[in-house]
Amino acid sequence: MAKTIYLGNPNLKRQNVEIDYTQEQIEEFIKCRDNPSYFIKNYIHIVNLDEGLIKFDLYPFQEELVKTLYTTRFTIVKCPRQSGKSQTSLAFMLHYVLFNDQRQVAILANKSATSRELLGRLQMAYERLPYFLQQGVMEWNKGSIVLENGSRIMAGSTSSSSIRGYSFNLIFLDEFAFVQQGMAEDFFRSVYPTISSGKDSKVIIVSTPNGMNHFYKMWSDAVDGRNTYKPFEINWWDVPGRDSAWKEETINNTSEEQFKQEFECEFLGSAGTLISPAKLHALVIKDPLHTKDNLKVYEETIENHAYFIAVDVAEGRGQDYSSMSVIDITNLPFRQVATYKSNEISPLLFPNYIMQVAMAYNDATCIVESNGPGAEVANILHYDLEYDNTINESGVYNKLGRKMTSRIKGIGCSNLKDLLEHDKLVVNDMATISELSMFVTKGKSWAAEGGGHDDMVMGLVMFSWVATQPEFKELTDMELRLKLYANKIHEIEEDLTPFGFIDSGDDSDDYVVEGGEVWQVSHESMRF
């Protein structure tokens, strides 16, 4: 016995062990090889919370998922919590490496510990396979397994660095909606070429929604046919035992909003977002025309158009991001035509990049948020590079850029809400929309939820504040304050309509509402 087991584990067959297969075992082996659902239902064991170790008796939707994974190269799965999506995928991957030689598989999650836990579940299932279905084990640890048929499974985090240098036949991305936005983009940009190089390579993406991020875009593109992923949706009622009574109990123990996101799989932003949920859902994420050095270009420069660049500066140490939004301010609606976001660029180098982009967009007017390292960037841009087309502190000698104060932030947030919700600003950038879906009320202010990032949003907040200042009118010959104020007047009138206005029949601008109160329209210049 000792000669057949791997490192003293009686549940694992070591390599180079000869087995005299019976005719029945040969027939079973062929059945399992040709039918992954048969293999899973008859030979895979899982841990059930109520019953302990049991055979994996696939639900109908799980069996359909296995068929999809077996026949499809690229699959994206939107699913509710606790629907067995990960376990089903792991069982399929075990079949994949057992019955295919020289297959390299990566199990990736938001954290390495999570991916190793998933690998541990797969290893548990492997240990309960009969010897005639096992491949001999060559390597077996918490981070990887290697089988004698040349197949390998490794666990890591969803980052470009964790699997760089490897080539994979199958990559499994678990709870991909919870991977940080920048990390998700970097991952696909650096890793995807190694995936697509193989003719039969597979990518499996599964997740419960978590706001409007990279997973949201990939799912939407799959549904609309803009990518080659096959969308597979699991509904909460597909899981046996989940009915209306279960739904009511779950909502009572959590919240209706949480149920909508985690079980009805709606792509909701956080609760209490600056921008209304209806408007967030109406925003359309688009692919840039091209991307270079973290600059995403959505529209090329148009001759004689006026452009504005809002800049937010970080320290460039791999934490917060330095960012900028290039906005076409020629006409309404304003349009975000290019974006930049990086957490690696140094404040000493950023001014050169800002100026390059500004000059490319018709010598765009720039505003640099001067809190922290932003002051240094504003100084280099103005004095060292001699780029004069900037907006600086008014009435303060030698003060460049614009410091973000609580007053400016408050006005900017209010104006940004008006611009977006009244379709006077078009935003298509995925990182920006993702941040907007997590930009929530915090006390008397607004900030990213849960320690997330709001670098792109804060650039738009600064722009939205400038857009109602006198200097902006000089740039565009547009009195935006009056346009936004007109919207507010219209909303007030709509709200008051049920109470009714009484027309006296004269031509005065006085309105009498119920109760006899008289409202008069002021003809003075309207300001916020």
309 in Cβ contact with 357 (< 8 Å): yes
Q: Hey, what amino acid is at 73?
A: R
289 φ, ψ (degrees, to nearest 5): -60, -40
From CA 243, how far away is CA 223, in angstroms rounded? 27
Cα maximum dimension of the chain: 106
> Taking the CB of residue 496, how many other CB atoms lie within 10 A of it?
14
> What is the 3-state secondary structure of 330-357?
CCCCEEEEEEEEECCCCCCCHHHHHHHH
> What is the 3-state secondary structure of 33-98?
HHCHHHHHHHHCEEEECCCEEEECCCCHHHHHHHHHHHHCCEEEEECCCCCCHHHHHHHHHHHHHH
| Residue count of the chain | 528
214 in Cβ contact with 180 (< 8 Å): no
From CA 134, how far away is CA 143, in angstroms rounded? 19
By three-state DSSP, how is residue 267 classified?
coil
From CA 256, how far away is CA 246, in angstroms rounded? 13
> Taking the CB of residue 318, how many other CB atoms lie within 10 A of it?
10
**Active-site residue, 175 included:** yes
* Chain Cα centroid distance, residue 462: 23
**Sign (positive/negative) of CA torsion 448, 454, 457, 458?**
positive
Per the residue annotation, which of 175, 262, 376, 435 is the catalytic one? Answer: 175
Cα-based torsion angle of the residue sequence 281, 299, 223, 433 in order, rounded to the nearest 10 degrees: -30
Q: What is the DSSP string of 291-317?
A: EETTEEESS---TT--EEEEEE---SS
List the one residue out of 208, 211, 161, 160 whose CA is nearest residue 184: 160
- Exposed, middle or buried by CB within 10 Å (0-12, 13-18, 19+), for 515? exposed
From CA 263, how far away is CA 80, in angstroms rounded? 4
462 in Cβ contact with 402 (< 8 Å): yes
Would you state the structure tokens that stand for residue 423, as one six-digit string?
Answer: 């379709």
Residues recognised as catalytic: 175
